[in-house]
Structure 1
Amino acid sequence: MKHFEITQKGAGLHIEGFPDAVKVVHIESPDAVRLSDLALHKQDLEFADSCLEAINTVPEDPRVIREALWRSAIIHFLKCFGKSKARFKLTTDEALRGEPSEAMEAFNYFKALRDKYFVHDENSYSQSIPGAVLNDGSKDYKIEKIVCLSFGSVTMEQGNYSNLKLLIGRTLLWVVQEFDKLCESLTEELEKKSYADLTTRADVTYQFPTIDEVHKNRR
């Protein structure tokens, strides 16, 4: 799976690196849809990995920067395994096949972190305990202040960092392998078509999303 630079030429897009190319035709098939989904999964996984790498480049203070990168890495990794109406979800049965049982334990830990701590507030990793500060009784009132003692658990430590890094790497490897296999299959399929048929197919186009599309599913 290679990266190619895309430049804008006039009203269209140009993929660099193919001097003999005359056009980029749009392909439509279930395999093409799956290929598109795999590319988006790869994008999320690479972003998650980049967040982990960036943690090592920022100072420890303010702590919020590292924590934001840490949570973003977990959320984008698990996004690939979540339900979506726009793309198929990855499964641990495929992505982590052949890995030791500890890999699945780590995956379930990060999923619980996201589901019950980072995205939703459900488990004991965050707590707020209400209380009343009682004085020594020498005043004409007894309560000095109503307070809440708030606590949040620290989950970014070396063991968790290493586990997440390994999970992202293993999943990314599977995604790239699947993508490459689909590319080979689609190439064989298209090579059977006539050149005339291929040249009359629609070009690949891209439309910038509008504000109202933020509420709509992609497909």
Structure 2
Amino acid sequence: MLVVEVAGKPAFGRICRSELVALGRVSCRGIRPIDMSEIGSSGSVCSGYAAVMPTTRFENGQLVIDGYDSAVAVVDLHGYGGRDRKVAHLGDLAKHHIDLAFVVEATERLLRFPGDPTVVRTALWRSAIVTFARCFDTKSNARQLDLEAAKVYQAGLPRQLQKYMQDLRDKDIAHDDALVTDSKVCAVLGPDNPDTKVIEVLFLHMNADQLSDPTAVPNLRRLAQDAFGWVVAEFERRRELLVEELRGLPYEQLVTLPVPTIQPKKYPHPVSTP
């Protein structure tokens, strides 16, 4: 068992989950670890349990890592290598790993439960689109390593579909550029007299129901699965290189690396709650 100190608490809410990416496997919401071999073109990304999988839990103000029986310590690699971004890039791949796992799980829910309330299905769809697009977002500096469609997908339809999903996020969900909507302000006219010639002013709005297209959700799921597979392979490749590099260092240098401290960001809710 390894323990990581958690400094402070979130200003609003409580810590409800922790996530860990290691050895090419992900702990979905810190609860359902899986092995990458379980993922097929139509399989679930969060189903089943890996035989050996490090897991995390939040206990007594500490983040506890289980699954490494012979471990003596955990050290923080932040800043290791100076200006070399290998550690940051590995961390970004792990974040993409978590995001894409969510997208697959969300799309599978949409496919398995078509009878869910419309508001639930719409919320899942929009959330999945935004989360998927975040992995390819080159406009934000939050992640130093964004996924590149040209590296992840083959030319042709796969890249066209990725751009289509990105456009939905940019021009329909996050910003109203009337990509799949149209609206008009209209007047209802009556007989030609002062009191009835204008009966009402109304607003007409129509939007394309993406979820009514039988190919929309499967296409997003396949995009997420393919990107997930690419991320796993790249994460493993880079992780193995980093492990090999670290094993070449003197043990005395390794044990002097800083101890990690997790500090949830404080972003207080502006309104008091009951």
Normalised by the length of structure 1, the TM-score is 0.87
After superposition, give the CA deviation of every residue in 1:162-186 in whole Å (9 maximum; x if it has no partner). 2111111110111111111111101
RMSD over aligned Cα atoms: 2.0
Contiguous gaps of at least 5 residues in structure 2: 1-23, 27-53, 269-274
Q: CA deviation at 1:139?
A: 7.4
Q: How far apart are the structure 1 equivalents of 2:203 and 2:193?
A: 24
Give 2:89's aligned amino acid: R
Q: How far apart are the structure 1 equivalents of 2:58 and 2:116?
A: 41
Q: How far apart are the structure 1 equivalents of 2:179 and 2:146?
A: 29
Q: 1:119 maps to what in 2?
A: 174
Q: State whether structure 2 residue 229 is matched by structure 1 residue 179.
A: no
Q: 2:49 maps to what in 1?
A: none
Q: CA deviation at 1:9?
A: 6.3
Q: How far apart are the structure 1 equivalents of 2:106 and 2:254?
A: 41
Q: 2:208 maps to what in 1?
A: 153
Contact 1:38 1:175 in 2 (8 A): yes
Contact 1:77 1:168 in 2 (8 A): yes
Q: State whether structure 2 residue 150 is matched by structure 1 residue 93.
A: yes
Q: CA deviation at 1:124?
A: 4.6
Contiguous gaps of at least 5 residues in structure 1: 213-219
The counterpart of 1:128, out of the listed 180, 183, 187, is 183
Displaced runs of 4 or more, over 6 A:
none
After superposition, give the CA deviation of every residue in 1:18-43 in whole Å (9 maximum; x if it has no partner). 11111011122321111101011111
After superposition, give the CA deviation of every residue in 1:128-166 in whole Å (9 maximum; x if it has no partner). 211111113477431111111111111122211121111
Q: How far apart are the structure 2 equivalents of 1:208 and 1:45?
A: 22
Q: How far apart are the structure 1 equivalents of 2:62 and 2:147?
A: 33
Q: CA deviation at 1:103?
A: 0.6
The counterpart of 2:72, out of the listed 22, 26, 51, is 22
Worse-superposed segment, 56-65 or 143-152: 56-65
Contact 1:7 1:14 in 2 (8 A): yes
Q: 1:193 maps to what in 2?
A: 249
Q: CA deviation at 1:56?
A: 3.5
Worse-superposed segment, 176-185 or 2-11: 2-11
Contact 2:150 2:159 in 1 (8 A): no
Give the number of aligned pairs: 210
Q: What SS does the aligned partner of 1:158 have?
A: coil
Q: What SS does the aligned partner of 2:239 have?
A: helix
Q: CA deviation at 1:45?
A: 0.9
Contact 2:96 2:231 in 1 (8 A): yes
Normalised by the length of structure 2, the TM-score is 0.71
Q: CA deviation at 1:11?
A: 5.8
Q: CA deviation at 1:84?
A: 2.0
Q: 1:41 maps to what in 2?
A: 96
Contact 1:12 1:205 in 2 (8 A): no
Q: State whether structure 2 residue 36 is matched by structure 1 residue 13.
A: no
Q: What SS does the aligned partner of 2:165 have?
A: helix
Contact 1:42 1:176 in 2 (8 A): yes
Q: How far apart are the structure 1 equivalents of 2:205 and 2:263?
A: 46
Contact 2:186 2:202 in 1 (8 A): yes
